[in-house]
């Protein structure tokens, strides 16, 4: 079948059946050989992803997996290859529903720029707080906390259950949908930007008491470009918080405070620091 494809030039994409492979189809593309970066390599590499994704869309595929094209024997610098892949895939996903996997075989393939890595590390060093409380202080605070909780419990018993239910705040689902409307966004625009699939978003929309994972909640805060206070409010509706003693939280706060809502770049940073990724 490959002989009948008529060849495949750099940047083009052709498709064949998967045969004995655990895939229905195999999309073939040829990446550029790295010379010096000024010979049009970036455009050719972007075309590899764009044309392959359009081929997958044409054949109504629901998912596709890519290696990091040209980063091996073709000598394309890994950080630049990664940036090109994420840019092309991200642009496609903002307009199309498809699950796209970018397969990397080690953390060295998934490198942040030195400038961004250093900036995040400095932010963490300046703001990260380890929760280490000496035993005698912890005991003292525990005693105070018990007293305060006891007083609160007495107060709460004076309220009826109906009163409590009537005064509940918006749930995560309700607040999310309200924010989408307030910002004039479409549902599809929001969940694609959050790197969330349509099925999960449908569950959230149809169940006002749906409790998302923290990674999903954060992804929507990023997609909606909420500031730090707004993000904390949205996360709080799902029972989560952003803490200065949690590395994952500190990285998220770094990007929000720097008004950087590129979910793919955020995930690059999370991966570099060995944290869970957000979105799908």
Q: How far apart are CA 35 and CA 47, in angstroms?
A: 17
This prediction's pTM: 0.71
The tens digit of pLDDT for each residue in 227-257 reads 999 999 999 999 999 999 999 999 999 999 9
Q: Which residues of 121-151 are buried (b: 16+ CB within 10 A; e: fewer)?
A: eebbeeeeeeeeeeeeeeeeeeeeeeeeeee
Which residues neighbour 265 within 8 Å (Cβ) at sequence distance 6 or greater?
A: 86, 116, 255
Which structure tokens are listed for 259? 């008004």
Q: Which of 134-143, 197-206, 214-223 has the lowest mean pLDDT?
A: 134-143
pLDDT of residue 110: 61
Domain ranges of the chain: 2-111, 116-129+169-272
Which CATH entry fits the domain spanning 2-111: 3.20.20.140, 3.30.70.980, 3.40.220.10, 3.40.190.80? Answer: 3.40.220.10
């Amino acid at each position: 079948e490959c002989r009948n494809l008529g060849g495949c030039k750099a940047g083009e994409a052709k498709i064949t059946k998967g045969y004995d492979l655990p895939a229905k189809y195999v999309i073939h593309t040829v990446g550029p050989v790295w010379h010096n970066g000024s010979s049009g390599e970036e455009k050719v590499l972007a075309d590899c992803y764009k044309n392959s994704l359009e081929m997958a869309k044409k054949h109504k595929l629901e998912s596709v997996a890519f290696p990091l094209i040209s980063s091996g024997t073709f000598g394309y610098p890994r950080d630049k290859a990664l940036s090109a892949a994420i840019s092309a895939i991200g642009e496609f996903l903002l307009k199309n529903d498809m699950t796209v996997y970018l397969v990397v075989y080690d953390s060295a393939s998934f490198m942040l720029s030195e400038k961004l890595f250093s900036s995040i590390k400095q932010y963490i060093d300046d703001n990260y707080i380890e929760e280490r409380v000496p035993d005698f202080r912890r005991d003292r605070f525990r005693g105070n906390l018990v007293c305060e909780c006891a007083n609160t419990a007495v107060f709460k018993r004076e309220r009826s259950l109906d009163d409590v239910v009537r005064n509940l705040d918006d749930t995560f689902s309700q607040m999310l949908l309200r924010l989408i409307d307030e910002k004039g966004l479409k549902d599809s625009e929001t969940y694609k930007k959050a790197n969330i699939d349509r099925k999960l978003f449908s569950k959230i929309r149809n169940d006002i008491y749906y409790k998302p994972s923290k990674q999903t909640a954060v992804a929507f805060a990023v997609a909606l470009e909420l500031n730090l206070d707004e993000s904390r409010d949205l996360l709080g509706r799902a029972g989560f918080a952003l803490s200065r003693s949690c590395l994952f939280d500190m990285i998220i706060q770094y990007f929000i405070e720097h008004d950087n809502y590129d979910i793919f770049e955020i995930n690059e940073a999370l991966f570099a620091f060995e944290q869970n990724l957000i979105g799908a």
